[in-house]
């Protein structure tokens, strides 16, 4: 049911394996006992730990499991492809989810997209009959990231007790705090400017040649070309000044950045699928689905969208 329920979004701070198991087990026991649809989406090692723990308690058959390090590798995919998809499969039923999108292995490049995701969950699920518990490894994450957990969750669980967060704020304002400038495009990058729809084929050839020269498999090169083409189409459709595509190699990944003069004001852009009968509005969503990471920095003077595809 949407519009009459209260969404519960607690963060769980844990220091040890036992604290992690106590907090997650209590959440799952309550959810299964209440007849909720339950999803556990945590990174690989924790996924194995919880699978074994819940199977030992006779709860495994009641739970759907997902590896957050795979399904949520790109944080921009978590809301549409993990959370909303699970909720849609169980429409009319309360859903309870353990989601761990931030762990010590998340890089500094990934992190702002992860934190913005945590903030925007509050807006997306407001009024839904749902609970999402987000564990945070307090022994492995630094203090700024732990403080951000207090900013993005209205309630925190510490030492087994729930505490209202004094730092929780409007999710849109919090997400905007993670709308951070991207590192500069390196001088070694290849750059192509464009203005007209007729130049899209040139963009596709430019990106494909760089991807294949970098040794990227043909199918992944095609994914990157499709994503960049969608972003360039958005530039042509929604701005008047044209844009540019930059491509360069970093260790293990090929990176493309699309810059234009548009202002992408909605932090949920690309994270909420448009209604089936609405045309358009899927370019950024598709880029999220095809790429391993999407970072966005938007300001009144323009928007930069950087996509990463592993080689």
Mean pLDDT of all residues in 136-155: 98
Same domain flag for 33 and 173: yes
Same domain flag for 26 and 169: yes
pTM above 0.85, yes or no: yes
CATH number, domain with residue 123: 3.40.50.300
Same domain flag for 249 and 284: yes
Count how many domains the chain has. 2
Cα-Cα-Cα-Cα torsion 159, 163, 167, 172, nearest 10 degrees, comes to: 110
Does residue 140 belong to any structural domain of this protein? yes
Q: Give the confidence band of 59 by pLDDT, cuts at 50, 70, 90.
A: confident
Same domain flag for 112 and 26: yes
pLDDT over 90 at 275, yes or no:
no
Provide, rounded to the nearest whole percent, the portion of the chain with pLDDT above 70.
Answer: 96
Same domain flag for 28 and 169: yes
Same domain flag for 138 and 18: yes
pLDDT over 50 at 196, yes or no:
yes
> In this predicted model, which residue has the larger pLDDT, 23 or 2?
23
pLDDT of res. 3: 43
> In this predicted model, which residue has the larger pLDDT, 137 or 279?
137
Angle at the Cα of 309 from the Cα atoms of 308 and 311, rounded to 5 degrees: 135
Mean pLDDT of all residues in 122-146: 97
Same domain flag for 160 and 23: yes
Same domain flag for 162 and 206: no
Does residue 104 belong to any structural domain of this protein? yes
Does residue 261 belong to any structural domain of this protein? yes
CATH number, domain with residue 201: 3.30.565.10
CA distance 13 to 102: 12
Q: Where in the sequence is the domain holding 91, given as residue range(s)?
A: 10-177
Provide, rounded to the nearest whole percent, the portion of the chain with pLDDT above 90.
Answer: 91
Does residue 3 belong to any structural domain of this protein? no
Q: Give the confidence band of 277 by pLDDT, cuts at 50, 70, 90.
A: low
Q: Which of 19, 236, 9 is nearest to 132 (CA)?
A: 9
pLDDT of res. 278: 57
**Last residue of some domain: 177, 205, 238?**
177
Q: Give the confidence band of 93 by pLDDT, cuts at 50, 70, 90.
A: very high
Q: Give the confidence band of 2 by pLDDT, cuts at 50, 70, 90.
A: very low
Same domain flag for 165 and 24: yes
Q: Give the confidence band of 311 by pLDDT, cuts at 50, 70, 90.
A: confident
**Last residue of some domain: 155, 177, 199?**
177
CA distance 203 to 223: 14
**Last residue of some domain: 122, 154, 177?**
177
Same domain flag for 163 and 39: yes
Decide: helix, strand or coil at residue 110.
Answer: coil
Same domain flag for 19 and 151: yes
Same domain flag for 18 and 97: yes
Q: Give the confidence band of 304 by pLDDT, cuts at 50, 70, 90.
A: very high
């Amino acid at each position: 049911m949407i519009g009459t329920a209260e969404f519960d979004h607690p963060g769980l701070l844990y220091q040890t394996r036992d604290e992690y198991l106590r907090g997650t087990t209590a959440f799952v026991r309550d959810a299964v006992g209440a007849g909720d649809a339950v999803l556990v989406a945590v990174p690989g090692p924790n996924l194995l730990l919880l699978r074994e723990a819940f199977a030992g308690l006779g709860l495994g058959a009641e739970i759907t499991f997902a590896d957050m390090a795979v399904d949520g590798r790109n944080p921009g995919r978590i809301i549409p492809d993990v959370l909303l998809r699970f909720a849609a499969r169980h429409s009319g039923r309360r859903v309870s989810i353990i989601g761990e999108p931030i762990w010590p292995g998340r890089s500094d490049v990934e992190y702002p997209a992860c934190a913005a995701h945590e903030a925007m969950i509050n807006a997306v699920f407001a009024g839904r009959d749902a609970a999402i518990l987000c564990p945070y490894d307090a022994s492995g994450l630094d203090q700024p990231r732990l403080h951000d957990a207090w900013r993005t969750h209205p309630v925190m669980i510490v030492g087994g007790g729930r505490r209202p967060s004094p730092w929780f704020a409007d999710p849109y304002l919090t997400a905007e705090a993670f709308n951070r400038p991207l590192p500069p495009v390196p001088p070694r990058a290849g750059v192509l400017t464009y203005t007209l729809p007729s130049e899209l084929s040139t963009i596709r050839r430019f990106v494909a040649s760089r991807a294949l020269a970098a040794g990227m498999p043909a199918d992944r090169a095609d994914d990157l070309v499709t994503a960049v083409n969608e972003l360039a189409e958005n530039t042509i459709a929604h701005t008047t000044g044209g844009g540019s595509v930059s491509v360069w190699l970093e260790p293990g990944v090929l990176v493309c950045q699309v810059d234009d003069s548009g202002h992408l004001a909605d932090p949920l852009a690309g994270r909420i699928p448009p209604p089936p009968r609405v045309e358009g509005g899927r370019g950024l969503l598709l880029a999220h689905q095809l790429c391993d990471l999407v970072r966005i920095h938007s300001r009144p003077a323009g928007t930069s969208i950087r996509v990463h595809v592993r080689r």
